Chains A and B, each alone.
With several copies, the nearest count.
Chain A
Amino acid sequence: YAPETLMQPLLDLEEAFRKALDDSSFQAELKSELRHFVGRPTPLTSAPRLAAKLGLRDLYLKREDLTHTGAHKINNALAQALLARRMGKTQIIAETGAGQHGVAAAAACARLGLRCTVYMGVVDMARQAPNVARMRLFGTEVVPVEAGQGTLKEAVNEALRAWAARCDKAHYILGSALGPHPFPTMVRTFQTVIGEEARAQVLEQAGALPDSVIACAGGGSNGLGLLVPFLGDALHRFAVEAGGHGPALGEHAARLDGGRMGVLHGCKTLLLQDEHGHTAETASISAGLDYPALGPELAALALDEKIEVLRASDDQALEAAKWLCESEGILPALESSHALALLPELAKRGFTTVLLGLSGRGDKDLSTYQSKLGI
């Protein structure tokens, strides 16, 4: 579902991606950078005090907050940057919402000596100003996008336009498991390192698999990254969407119940849209979860009942962040707080051993926590 100008670049990308996957030198380089630059494997932290508080027997946190730049986004950004360099591209285009993917792309590009341009909505630029500064320090040009709500969707629009204009020299590093093929597959592939590590770690630390695995889901890169490696296991998999501040269209970003199949940004998936097929506005306290479409692979797994999709409201997420801070001394990103918020629900449903994906650190959300929690 991409304009013709991008079809050949997408086909080229798919081929390069397939070849890279089969190339042990690419795999070795990626593995080395993930280990020595990103800080993988990230720890799996047992959270006994929070588990006790919420009525769980065991709770394990997969700590993507400890990666370089502070969120899981770097796994994909770095891998795609390596792929781009391999393809002979000298420029990188990226979009960003909360700024974590933008910062990750900027860092990866500085590391590899690639020129980077990040498109970011003006509203997001204002509320995530520290991430704008981080990108600029890394030598990245941040281009303000004025259109629409001034958030992630418009940034993707503009990044796609920029890529169409420079697809001969530039690679587009999409940050979530969405967009035209092969992006959803590629991003998912580069993020499953999360779940693969977590699965081995929980087996080592607990001696058994948990009875449930839970992660938040915006586009789905974090959700798929953690959950896909557990698809073959007899346990329950949950993805948590942003419930925002109400059930009406425009008040949330819960695509499973609220959306219907549609096409946006080159892929067909569950989409929040009005009756005219225009993309709907969304609302969430978390800038990383307010994308109007669920990534197509995650949507398919949800419709196939392989993954259960729940939602957590703004208020629930804020409350959950406080639990983790006070019980374990870990400040979660607002995105991750949405997954934390569902833990009491899991306990109520009889789950006792939960593995939770902590997708990023909450430093970027400090001002929100301060104002909303009255710190």
Chain B
Amino acid sequence: MNKLLPFIMAGDPSLESLPRLLAEAKALGIEALEIGLPHSDPIADGPVLQAAAHRAIQRGATPLRVVETLAGLTESPDLILFTYLNPLLQIGAERLIGLLRLTPVKALLVVDLPDSEEPEFEARLRAAGYPIIPLLSPTTDLDRAKGLLERRPDPGGDHPFAQRFAYVVARLGVTGTGGAPDLAPVRERVAALQSISDRPLAVGFGLSDPQALAEVRAMGATPVIGSALVQALAAGVALETFLHTRLG
């Protein structure tokens, strides 16, 4: 189980520094990392990631340039492309698969793609080795969760974490904002999910202080850290320094 699933916004602080950042993450022992594709209308993101996406777009981090930047990288954790659906649809499944082949991207997390909406598109990506990570939120009851996990199945133990995990949304709302979530209900939900599936779980939305991260690990899940990291990187903090403060 991973100790941490970091999230960074592609193109913020810059596309140029992205390869170095990914290499650094790998060197620091990060196995998998979520990389955000900057979008014009990030409806599930809070102010920090909205601002980061906006900066990245201003600096020219279009979807194609992001993917080009990732092409050929070997010194990188496994990447989960965190994105909204529309840019992918505009690229198209075939072309997208071709582009991803050259990158360390192993899976996609498409915020606004419920499993029922683009079955053909999703099936082609999955068949090509790019599964879409299931999201489980506080409004997802256990029955629904069961269905979601079945319809976006675990590819199996021989696959890396990046392709296997399900993402547990810690609380209602958007990324980043608000104080630390109350972890008691999260603990219950994680336990319930663990009782119906032995899939690795990542827990995100609102986690930032070391104690919350430790509590998530104590549940047997991987904590996601996004907004706090993006903010630190934008402020010029080195990845190593940041991780050090969070992992102790």
Contact = CB atoms under 8 A, between A and B. Distances in A.
Interface of A: 1-9, 147-148, 153, 157, 160-161, 164-168, 261-266, 268, 271, 273, 275-279
Nearest to B113: A1
Interface of B: 39-46, 50, 54, 57, 62-64, 84-91, 111-114, 117, 135-141, 144, 148, 169, 172-174, 178
B140 A8 contact: yes
B137 A5 contact: yes
Given A8-B141, A161-B44, A276 B90 contact: yes
B140 A263 contact: no
B46 A277 contact: no
A9 B64 CA distance: 34
A264 B41 contact: yes
A277 B112 contact: no
Main secondary structure on A side of the interface with B:
mixed
Nearest to A281: B40
A166 B87 CA distance: 28
Contact of B172 (A5, A148, A263): A5
A157 B42 CA distance: 7
A165 B172 contact: yes
A161 B86 contact: no
Contact of B62 (A3, A153, A167, A276): A276
A277 B87 contact: yes
Contacts of A6: 139
Given A4-B140, A5-B138, A161-B173, A279 B40 contact: yes
Given A157-B43, A161-B174, A262-B89, A4 B62 contact: no
Contacts of B84: 263
Given A263-B86, A266-B112, A277-B87, A7 B139 contact: yes
A123 to B, nearest CB: 16
B90 A273 contact: yes
A265 to B, nearest CB: 7
A263 B112 contact: yes
19 contacts: A1-B85, A3-B137, A5-B44, A5-B137, A5-B169, A7-B137, A7-B139, A153-B41, A160-B43, A161-B45, A161-B174, A168-B172, A271-B86, A276-B62, A277-B86, A277-B91, A278-B57, A278-B87, A279-B41
Nearest to B111: A3
Nearest to A12: B139
Contacts of B172: 5, 164-168
A215 B163 CA distance: 49
B141 to A, nearest CB: 7
A271 B135 CA distance: 26
B170 to A, nearest CB: 11
Contacts of A273: 86, 90
A2 B112 contact: yes
A263 B85 contact: yes
Given A3-B44, A157-B41, A161-B46, A262 B117 contact: no
Given A1-B114, A164-B172, A264 B46 contact: no
A249 to B, nearest CB: 13
A119 to B, nearest CB: 12
A278 B40 CA distance: 5
